[in-house]
Structure 1
Amino acid sequence: MENEEQRRRKDVYEADFMEETAAEVGVPYRVGEPHAEREVIDIDRNRNHEVAGRGEGTGYGRFALVLSILSLFFLPIILGAAGIILGFIARRKGALTLGAWAIGIGVVSIIVGTFILPFFS
């Protein structure tokens, strides 16, 4: 009888440690939930919209980037401000990366032109 009782306790003891714990780390996802499928569709729709709208602002973005790069060499305040403004317009029209680079380079140009270059003239 003791042998059987010990064997049963051993089985219960081992069964407690046979759990899989990887599910605690993963993102909970249930196949039947409609909102999970809706999120995937929305992400695809946003990507398609971004790709489709890219052609409208590309010209603005390129021109803004050219102005911002030129502002690094001369007229940093004027050309940098124009590059920043056109960068915002390009981002609104869909050229997100070109607009962001134009804004960033324009800001750097204005900061360098205002605070650092006067010490070297």
Structure 2
Amino acid sequence: MDETNDKNRFVNDTDMRPMREETAAELAEPIPFPRNDVSEEVDRGVQEGEGGRGLGYSGLISSILALFMLPVLFGAIGVVLGFMARRRGSEGLGAWAIGIGVVALVVGLFVLPFF
């Protein structure tokens, strides 16, 4: 290159070093990686509703405990775990945990103070 083109390629006005960088682009096609059997089983489990089964049972147990002791604490925990279970695919257990937890909360907050 001649000197006239190099004068226009300075980094800035105070630094008078020319930019002489090498740039490259990939020309190769990306290598596809085959999916292994473990990831497919995990994907199937989430689609079939097995992902939130543990959360659903935990929420259901917590909601049932809320009917007998500490209804505000265990009821709130049961409702939260029920929503998490429904999001992970276990809709039946999550709905029961939410329903029983809400009933326990309502009884604990509005009915029990009058007795």
Measure, in 2, the Cα distance between the counterparts of 1:60 and 1:51.
13
CA positional deviation for 1:63: 0.4
Deviation of 1:52 after TM superposition, in Å, equals 3.9
**What is the CA deviation profile of residues 41-98 of structure 1, one whole-angstrom value per residue up to 9, with x for unaligned ones?**
xxxxxxxx79843111100000000000000101100110000000000000000000
Task: Give % identity.
Answer: 56
Alignment match, 1:110? 105
For residue 11 of structure 1, what is the aligned residue in structure 2? none
Query: How far apart are 1:109 and its partner, in Å?
Result: 0.3
RMSD: 1.7
Q: Distance in 1 between matches of 2:110 and 2:72?
A: 11
Amino acid at match of 1:71: A
Matched, 1:88 2:88: no
In the alignment, the residues of structure 2 paired with residue 50 and residue 56 of structure 1 have an alpha-carbon distance, to the nearest angstrom, of 6
In 2: Cα distance, 1:50 partner to 1:87 partner: 18
TM normalised by structure 1 equals 0.56
| Paired letter, 1:116 | V
| CA distance in structure 1 between the partners assigned to 2:46 and 2:92 by the alignment | 12
Calculate the TM-score normalised by the size of structure 2. Answer: 0.59
Does residue 59 of the first structure (1) align with residue 58 of the second (2)? no
Report the 3-state secondary structure (helix = DSSP H, G, I; strand = E; otherwise coil) of the residue aligned with 1:107: helix
Counterpart contact for 2:46–2:88, Cα < 8 Å: no
Greater share of residues in helix: 1
Q: Is the 8 A contact 1:50 1:94 kept in 2?
A: no
| Gap runs ≥5 in structure 2 | 1-43
